[in-house]
Amino acid sequence: MTMSKGFRYGLAGLAAAVALSAGPAFAQDTEAAAEAASTVASPDVQYIFNTLLFLIGGFLVMWMAAGFAMLEAGLVRSKNVSMQSLKNIALYSIAGIMYWLVGYNLMYTGVDGGYMGSFGTYAFDPVGGDALDVGYSTASDWFFQMVFVATAASIVSGTVAERMKLWPFLIFVVVLTGFIYPIAGSWQWGGGWLSEMGFSDFAGSTLVHSVGGWAALAGALLVGARAGKYEGGKINPMVGSSIPLATLGTFILWLGWFGFNGASQLAMGTIADVTDVSRIFANTNLAAAAGVVATTILLQVLYKKVDVTMVLNGALAGLVSITAEPLAPAVWQALLIGAVGGAIVVFTVPLLDKLKIDDVVGAIPVHLFAGIWGTLIVPFSNADTSYSTQLVGIVAYGVFTLVVSFVVWFILKAIMGIRVSAEDEMIGLDKAETGVEAYPEFSRG
């Protein structure tokens, strides 16, 4: 039917409007359903909806890999843009292979309250598989979980950009995506000890973002700051080569986050589940919006200029903050959680510089600090959780990831070196390691 009278009605008239627009069949069915008390979808329809949620959520989160690539390509100097592009597509690829080879089972199979699952490759459903028992296609679940581990790895690449060699970075990604992330993840999402203790992290403020952030921090400490960054007792700005690409990256990440948080509901085969997914979309969007607004106002007040790269990171910090609990908060709570996330960026980016920790894209404030904040604040809106247990989880993930990452980076440094030569750093990683300049016709020198 064409809707010649516009497509919206006042809320007051909505129930009537729906009955009307859906036609008599709907009304009739509603009645019939009320009589039969059977408004729940059949198991196979639920299975299809749940699987579809994983597939849609999965491709949205996969798209975040492009978001990180663009964000980082925009925030590094032009002489390192090809390398940053290469690292990002390579890490996404490695994540997928490792998560099939060992990660998925290590995270989800036979954890049983413990500290890790079992080893071995993961087998998808057979062709034409029609087992109803788990309520969704396991391949769709694998796909959805796989893009999460890629996200964690993406976080690392930004922090250590512009001086980390290609191959040690890729080997670290192998270990991170095949072992560190899955083992850590098993503690909570695999049904391990933290899950039994009552820790809560809905979509991964800690399990994904802080884990990536801790691994990045360890790398930053061992690889050291970029040449000249903290020379002469000053903090020398090394500005990004393309703000629109960084902006594009941020928008991509924001879009992907609807999959990240929304599909972490893990089901949409019932009214309650799909309603919760909707609520998560709204809260996720508003927390990011609050991150943007808070950052913009703070920057104006503090510096009289609104540094757009800070605002972009403010959006991302809002998103990371709401990720531990995007469902329970009322809107005002979601806004508050996101706004504080944005403020964290404004205050901690300079702090890292003071500590001479050189985080090229601001990934540690955004993913680690805002991730801690988001995880800690869960009990603010979710009464089933406690601040103390949240703290236990945060500390456990921090200690484990930081220590193991440090050891891995340390071994890589000892064996093959993790930093390019001073000369290569000066001419840029693009020429030195990829042989391809990102903008051969534009760049100065």
Cβ proximity to its own copies: between 209 and 218 the closer is 209
CB of 172 or CB of 199, closer to its own copies = 199
From residue 241 to residue 280, what is the string marking binding to its own copies with x (rule CB under 8 A)? Answer: xxxxxxxx-xxx-xx--x---x-xxxxxxxxx-xxxxxx-
Taking the C-alpha atoms of residue 111 and residue 441, their distance in angstroms, rounded to an integer, is 54
Applying CB under 8 A, does 439 fall inside the site for its own copies? yes
Dihedral over Cα of 220, 223, 229, 232: its sign: positive
Tell me which DSSP letter residue 431 carries: I
By the rule CB under 8 A, 1 interacts with its own copies:
yes
Q: Which of residues 220-239 bind its own copies (CB under 8 A)?
A: 239
Residue 132 CB, nearest approach to its own copies (Å): 7
Question: Does the footprint of its own copies cover residue 425 (CB under 8 A)?
Answer: no
Q: Distance between CA atoms of 386 and 8, rounded to whole angstroms?
A: 43
Which residues 145-184 are close enough to bind its own copies by CB under 8 A?
146, 166-167, 170
437 in contact with its own copies (CB under 8 A): yes
Contacts with its own copies in 295-314 (CB under 8 A)? 296, 300, 303, 305-309, 311-312
Report in angstroms how near the CB of residue 221 gets to its own copies at its nearest.
26
DSSP 263-331: GGG---SSHHHHHHHHHHHHHHHHHHHHHHHHHHHHHHHHHSS--HHHHHHHHHHHHHHHTT-SSS--H
Q: Which is nearer to its own copies, 218 or 308 (CB)?
A: 308
51 forms part of the interface with its own copies (CB under 8 A) = yes
**418 vs 163, 249, 351, CA distance in Å?**
8, 27, 25
Query: Using the rule CB under 8 A, is 388 a contact of its own copies?
Result: no
Instruction: Identify the three-state secondary structure at position 415.
Output: helix
| In the complex, least distance from residue 160 CB atom to its own copies, rounded to whole angstroms | 17
**β partners of residue 419:** 164
User: Should residue 414 be labelled a site residue for its own copies when binding is judged by CB under 8 A?
Assistant: no
Which residue intervals of 99-242 are DSSP H helices?
Answer: 104-108, 138-159, 166-175, 181-186, 193-197, 211-223
Q: Are 58 and 259 in contact (CB under 8 A)?
A: yes
> How many C-beta neighbours within 10 Å does residue 384 have?
9
Nearer to its own copies, 132 or 355 (CB): 132
By CB under 8 A, what part of segment 340-379 binds its own copies? none
Q: Which is nearer to its own copies, 87 or 367 (CB)?
A: 87
- Inter-CA distances, 3 with 10, 17, 21, 28, 220, Å: 15, 12, 9, 22, 58
CA 327 to chain centre: 16
- Which residues, at least 6 apart from 161, have a Cβ–Cβ distance to it below 8 Å? 72, 75, 76, 80, 83, 84, 87, 360, 361
Among 106, 108, 374, 405, binds its own copies (CB under 8 A): 108
SS3 239: coil
Q: Which stretch binds its own copies (CB under 8 A): 138-146, 224-232, 357-365, 407-415?
A: 138-146
Query: Judged by CB under 8 A, does residue 421 bind its own copies?
Result: no
Query: In angstroms, rounded to a whole number, what is the distance separating the alpha carbons of residues 177 and 172?
Result: 9
The candidate with the shortest Cα–Cα distance to 84, out of 22, 156, 36, is 156
Residue 226 vs residues 73, 110, 137, 141: alpha-carbon distances, Å = 16, 43, 46, 40
Please report whether residue 335 would count as binding its own copies according to CB under 8 A: yes
Q: Kindly determine how many residues on this chain lie close enough to bind its own copies according to the rule CB under 8 A.
A: 189
Nearer to its own copies, 203 or 218 (CB): 203
| 427 interacts with its own copies by CB under 8 A | no
Among residues 70 and 155, whose Cβ is nearest to its own copies?
70
Q: Does 69 bind its own copies (CB under 8 A)?
A: yes
Cβ proximity to its own copies, 253 vs 408, nearer residue: 253
Site for its own copies in 180-209 (CB under 8 A): 185, 188-191, 194-196, 198-203
33/415 with CB nearer its own copies: 33
Q: How near is the Cβ of 60 to its own copies at its closest, in Å?
A: 7
Cβ closer to its own copies: 15 or 351? 15
